[in-house]
Structure 1
Amino acid sequence: MARSEDAHKVSFEEALNRTGFGLYNYLVVSMAGFIVIALVCIAFSTTIIIPTSACELGTTSSQRGILAGAPVVGLILGAVLWGYLADIFGRRYTLIISLLAAATVNALASISVNWLMLMFLQFFATFLSAGQFPQAMTIVSESVPMSKRNLCILLVGSIFLLSQGLMAALAIPIIPLTFSYYLPSLGIYWNSWRTLMLVYSSPSLLSALWLYFMCESPKFLFSKGREAEAMDALKKIHRVNNLRSRTELQIKGGILVEPVDGGNAKGAGNQCAPLFKQPLLKSTIIMTLLFLFQQIPAFLIWLPTISAQFVQILETGEGSSLTLCGIIRKSLDSPPEDDDACALNVTSLLIVLVVGAIQSVTNVFMSLMISVTGRRNMAMFVTALCGLCGILVNLIPNAIASGVMFFIFLIGIVTSGLYTAIAVALFPTSLRTLAVALIMTGHRIGSFASVQIINLLFEVNCEAGFYVYASILAVSAVIAAFLEDDRKLGQASQGPKDEASKL
C-alpha cells in the first residue's frame, strides 16, 4: 500500500521544478542581493567610517586597526550561531530578526561618543548580521529550480563583490557635507559620517520589510515535516511565477520523503575526525592553505583609505614618479590640511566603486569560462597573475601604473568563490558543510590578523606587506596544482554545485 502511494509522489526538486521560473524567482534573487548589500553596509562600513571619524574620535593608527578588525571577529563568532538558529527556526524568520537587530545596533553606533563605543557597537552589529550571506544564498538555492540555480547564485555572488563599491556610492553625496550640529546631552557633533551610518542601516530595514512578504524556504518547511506549509509555499511560488495562467500546481500525491543522512547525527568530535585522516587529510590541508593564503579582503578593508591617499598626493602633482607605497609614505609624511584631514574625496570613493564593478564583472566572465578551463586551473591562473601584479606594485616607479597593478591584485578576491566550489566537490555530503565552515573560520581568523599586520606595515615597511601577501597568493597557484583537475571528474563534479550554492 505504501509503495502504491509513493508511486504518485514526486521528489522535492521535481516539485520545485514544476513551479517554473518567473517573477517570484526574480524577486527572491533581487531580495538576496539586497540582503547581501545590507550585510556589507553594516559589516564593512568601517572602511568608510574609520578615516572620516578619525579627527572627531581622535583615533590613533593602532586604534583604527582595531576598529577595522572588530567586525571580522563579529563575523567569525556569529556565523555558526546564526546558521544553527536558521536550521531550527527557519531562514525567513531568522533573517528578519537578524536584519532588524543589526540595523538597530548599527544606528546606535552613529551616536558613539568615543572609539571604544564605536568598536563595540560595530562588533555587535556585525555579530548580529553574520549569518545573512549564507542564509540569503540558502533561500535562493531552496526556492529556485535546479536548472537556474547556479545562474542565480552567480548573480548574488557578483552583487556581493560589487557591494563595497555600492557602499562607496552611498557615501559620495553624504561624506563631503560640512554640517555639524552639537548635541550637548551626548557631547558629540552630529555630522556627515554619523548620518552615513544611519543610511547604512536602511538597506537592512528595507530587506526585512521585503522578506516579510516572501515565503519561507519550502525545502526547510518540508525538512521539518511541515508538508502542508511547504505545499502552500510551492503553490504561492507557482502562482506568482505564472500570473497569466490559472492552472494550479499539479502535485497530487504529495512530496516524497527523502532519506536523512545519518552522518549528521554524529557528535561534533566524531564528525570532524575524518577531515584529519586519510583520504581527506590532503584535501583539508590544501584547501586550508589556499584560503589562508588569500588575504585580499584585508587589503579591501583599507582600500578607501589607500585611495584617498593616492588621490591626495596625485592632486599635488608631486607623486607621479612614485610607487603606491611611495605615495602612502609621502601622505604620512605630509599630513593634509585640517579641512581635509578626515575626509574621503569623491574621486577616491569613485575608485572604490570602479574596483567593485570590475571585480563583479570579472566574476561573471570567469564563471562563464569555468566549463572550459575547470575551477582548479582558473584559480591557478588568477592567483598567479594577481600575485605577480601585487609584487609589481613595488617595482614600477609610476603612480598610475603601480595603482593599476594594485587594482589587478585586488581582483584576486574572486578566487574565494572558486575555492568554495572546489571544497564542496572534494568533501563527501555528510562532511561538506562542516569542512567548508572550518576552512572559512581559519580564513577569517587570518583576515583579522592580516588587517592589523597590513595597517602596521603601511606605516613601517609598506613594500614588505605587498611582497609577503602577493608572494603567498602566487604560491597558492603551486599548492592548487596538487589538486586533481576537476574537468577529469566529469559528471561527478556537477552534483555538488547545487550544494555549493547553499554555503
Structure 2
Amino acid sequence: MADKSNKFDEKLPFEAAIDKAGYGLYSYIMTALAGVAIISFVCIVFASTIIVPTSACELGTTGSQQGLLAAGPVVGSLLGGILWGYQADNRGRRKMLLVSLCGGTIFNLVASISVNWIMLMIFQFIAALFASGLYSMSMSLLSESVPMAKRNLVVLLVSSIFLLSQGIMAALAIPIIPLPFSFHLPALGIYWNSWRTLLVVYSSPSIITIIWLYFMQESPKFMLVKGHEEEALKILRVIHRINHFRSKEEFEVLGLQQEAGQEAALTSSVKEQVAPLFKMPLLKYTIIMTALFVINQVGAFLVWLPTIADQFVRIMQTGENSDLNMCQIINTESPVDDSVTPCSLNETSLLIVLGVGAMQSIFNFIISIVVNQVGRRNIVMMVTALCGVSGILVNLIPSALGSAVVFGVLTLGVVVVGLYTAITVSLFPTQLRALAIALAMTGGRIGSFASIQILNLMLVNSCDAGFYLFSSLFAASAIVASFLPDDRRGKVAALAKEETHKNELAIKTGND
C-alpha cells in the first residue's frame, strides 16, 4: 500500500486530475460531438431562415407573418434557455442534453406536417423551447471534459462549427429546395413538398447526436460538484484510458478534493443557486456578459441573410444596377422568372450563405490560433469595433460588389459569440456555469426577438437607419468589453485563480 501511495496522488484538485487524464482521442470525440450538437441546435432554432421564404407560397404568408414565423423559434429559445441551464447544473449536462435533443427532434418532425403558418410557428416554437439549451449545455460538457490548457481551443473550434452551421443548412437545402415534387396528403389536406422534406432532414443531426451522446460520459466536474467523487473518478479513468489508448499508463489519482463553496451548492435551492449571479463579485460579470450578448445583434442580419442573398443575386443577374448599395438592392423589385419554382431560393444565393458561413468559420479558427497571445477580451474589442464600423459603411459605398463585401465583414462579427461563451466559462464557477451562459444568452435572445422584427420592418421602410442602428450598437460592445479582465497568456493562470477564489467565496458567503 505504501508503494501505491508513493506512485498515486492521494487527493488532487479537479483541474490537476483532468490534466492527468490528458488531451487525446476522447477529447477529439467530445469536441466533434459538441460540434454536431451545435449543428442540431442551429438546424432546429434557425431552420426558419430557410423555411420561411420557401414555404411562403403554400402557406400564403405575408411579410409580417413571415417575421413572426422567423421570431417564433427565437422566443422558444428565449423561454427555455435559463430553464435548461438550471436543469443542467442540477441534473447533469449529459442527461439534460438527451432530453433536450429528443424533445426538439420530435416537435421539429411534427412541424413538417403543419397545415398552416400558425401550426408551423407553434411547433417550431416548441421544438426551439426544447433545443434552446443545446448550445450552453454542450459547451459546458465539453469545457469540463478537457484540461484547462485546451479549453479555449476546443470552445473556439466548436464555435467555428456553430458559425458554419447556417452554411451547412444552406448546403442541405441546395439539392432539396429546387425540387418541384408535390404529393397530396388528403388526410391532412396538405402537399408534401421540398420545404417539408427539408424540415425532416434538419432533424437528422439531432438523431445522430442522441445516439452518439448515449455512449459518452457525464461531466466529471459536475459529478464532483454534486458530491459523487467515486463517479467522477470513474469518468476520469475512462477519459484517461481513451486518451492514452496506445499506452498502458495508469491514471495516478486516488481521490479528488472538493473545492471551496461546492459543498453548499449540493443542497442549494433555486433562489440560493441563482442569487450569487446577482451579488458581487459575480454581479459585475453577469451584467457585462449579458449586455454583450444583448447588443450583439449581427444575428438579426443572418436570420434574413438567405432572403437578402437571394435578392442580391436576382438583381445582379439582370446585368444592371451595379452602382447600387446594399439597401438600394434590397428595395429594388426583382424580375420574375417563370422557369423557377415559386418561392424557392436561388441556388447561387444558398452558395453565398454557405460561403459566408465558411468565411466566419475560418475567421474564428484564425482567432483560436492567436487567442492566447492576444486575449479573448482584446479580440472582442477589435472585432466588434471593426465589424461595427463596417456595418455603418455598408450603404455609403456606391457599388453593389463593394457594399456586399463590407456587409460580409459585418457578418464576421458573429464570431464573438464563441468568445463570449469562453469568457463566461472562465469567469463563473462550475455550479453556476451553465446557468450563467444560459442567462447571458437569454438576454441575447430577448434582443434577437426584438431585432428580428425591427430589422424586418426597417429593411423595407428605413433600411439605412437599420444598418446604422444595429452596427452602432455592435461597435459599442468594444467599450463594454473593456471592463472585462485582461486574459492574455501569462495572465491567464493568475486571473483564473484569482477569479475562481473570489467567486467561490461569494457563493459560500451567499449560502451561509
- TM-score normalized by the length of structure 1: 0.89
Please name the residue that 2:310 is paired with.
Answer: 308
Distance 1:495 1:355, change over 3 A: farther
Q: CA deviation at 1:418?
A: 3.4
Counterpart Cα distance in 1 of 2:291 and 2:460: 28
Distance 1:303 1:367, change over 3 A: same
The C-alpha deviation readout for 1:446-490, integer Å capped at 9, x for no partner, is 110000001111111211111211122223334445656555966
Q: Which of 296, 321, 324 does residue 326 from structure 2 map onto?
A: 324
Please name the residue that 1:156 is paired with.
Answer: 158
Q: CA deviation at 1:155?
A: 1.2
Q: CA deviation at 1:17?
A: 2.4
Q: Residue type matched to 1:157 in 2?
A: S
Q: Residue type matched to 1:446 in 2?
A: G
Q: CA deviation at 1:241?
A: 2.1
Counterpart Cα distance in 1 of 2:193 and 2:34: 31
Counterpart Cα distance in 2 of 1:184 and 1:496: 65
Please name the residue that 1:196 is paired with.
Answer: 198
The C-alpha deviation readout for 1:220-274, integer Å capped at 9, x for no partner, is 23333333333332222222222233444333x3323333347757776677778
The question of whether the paired residues in 2 share the 8 Å contact of 1:335 and 1:341 is answered with no
Distance 1:155 1:423, change over 3 A: closer
Q: Map 1:66-77 to 2 at 5 A.
A: 66-77=68-79
Q: Identity of paired residues, percent?
A: 55
Q: CA deviation at 1:283?
A: 5.8
1:364 matches 2:329: no
Q: CA deviation at 1:295?
A: 0.7
- TM-score normalized by the length of structure 2: 0.87
Q: Residue type matched to 1:401 in 2?
A: G
Distance 1:31 1:324, change over 3 A: same
Q: Which of 485, 492, 495 does residue 493 from structure 1 map onto?
A: 495
The question of whether the paired residues in 2 share the 8 Å contact of 1:263 and 1:430 is answered with no
Please name the residue that 2:412 is paired with.
Answer: 411
Q: CA deviation at 1:288?
A: 4.5
Q: CA deviation at 1:301?
A: 0.6
The C-alpha deviation readout for 1:379-425, integer Å capped at 9, x for no partner, is 23222221221122111121111111111111111223334455666
Q: CA deviation at 1:351?
A: 0.7
Please name the residue that 2:508 is paired with.
Answer: none
Q: Residue type matched to 2:391 in 1?
A: G
Please name the residue that 2:123 is paired with.
Answer: 121
The question of whether the paired residues in 2 share the 8 Å contact of 1:425 and 1:496 is answered with no
- Which one is further off, 434-443 or 318-327? 434-443
Q: Which of 52, 58, 63 does residue 61 from structure 1 map onto?
A: 63
Counterpart Cα distance in 1 of 2:129 and 2:246: 43
Distance 1:445 1:184, change over 3 A: same
The alignment of Structure 1 onto Structure 2 pairs a total of residues equal to 494
Q: Residue type matched to 1:137 in 2?
A: M
Counterpart Cα distance in 1 of 2:94 and 2:448: 29
> Residue 216 of structure 1 aligns to a residue in which SS?
coil
The question of whether the paired residues in 1 share the 8 Å contact of 2:140 and 2:434 is answered with no
Q: Which of 141, 144, 156 does residue 142 from structure 1 map onto?
A: 144
Unmatched 5+ stretches in structure 1: none
The question of whether the paired residues in 1 share the 8 Å contact of 2:427 and 2:500 is answered with no
The C-alpha deviation readout for 1:23-56, integer Å capped at 9, x for no partner, is 2221111111111111111110100101100000
Please name the residue that 1:354 is paired with.
Answer: 355
Counterpart Cα distance in 2 of 1:199 and 1:53: 15
Q: CA deviation at 1:375?
A: 3.3
> Residue 331 of structure 1 aligns to a residue in which SS?
coil
Please name the residue that 2:401 is paired with.
Answer: 400
The question of whether the paired residues in 1 share the 8 Å contact of 2:156 and 2:422 is answered with no
> Residue 69 of structure 2 aligns to a residue in which SS?
helix
Distance 1:245 1:41, change over 3 A: same
Please name the residue that 1:219 is paired with.
Answer: 221
1:447 matches 2:448: yes
Counterpart Cα distance in 2 of 1:428 and 1:216: 17
Root-mean-square deviation (CA, aligned residues, Å) is: 3.0
Please name the residue that 1:291 is paired with.
Answer: 293
- Which one is further off, 197-206 or 372-381? 372-381
Q: CA deviation at 1:365?
A: 1.5
- Which one is further off, 302-311 or 91-100? 91-100
Distance 1:166 1:441, change over 3 A: same
> Residue 394 of structure 1 aligns to a residue in which SS?
helix
Counterpart Cα distance in 1 of 2:366 and 2:333: 36
Q: Residue type matched to 1:206 in 2?
A: I
Please name the residue that 2:505 is paired with.
Answer: none
> Residue 182 of structure 1 aligns to a residue in which SS?
strand
Please name the residue that 1:477 is paired with.
Answer: 478
> Residue 330 of structure 1 aligns to a residue in which SS?
coil
Please name the residue that 2:388 is paired with.
Answer: 387
Counterpart Cα distance in 2 of 1:278 and 1:145: 28
- Which one is further off, 314-323 or 61-70? 314-323
Q: Residue type matched to 1:386 in 2?
A: C
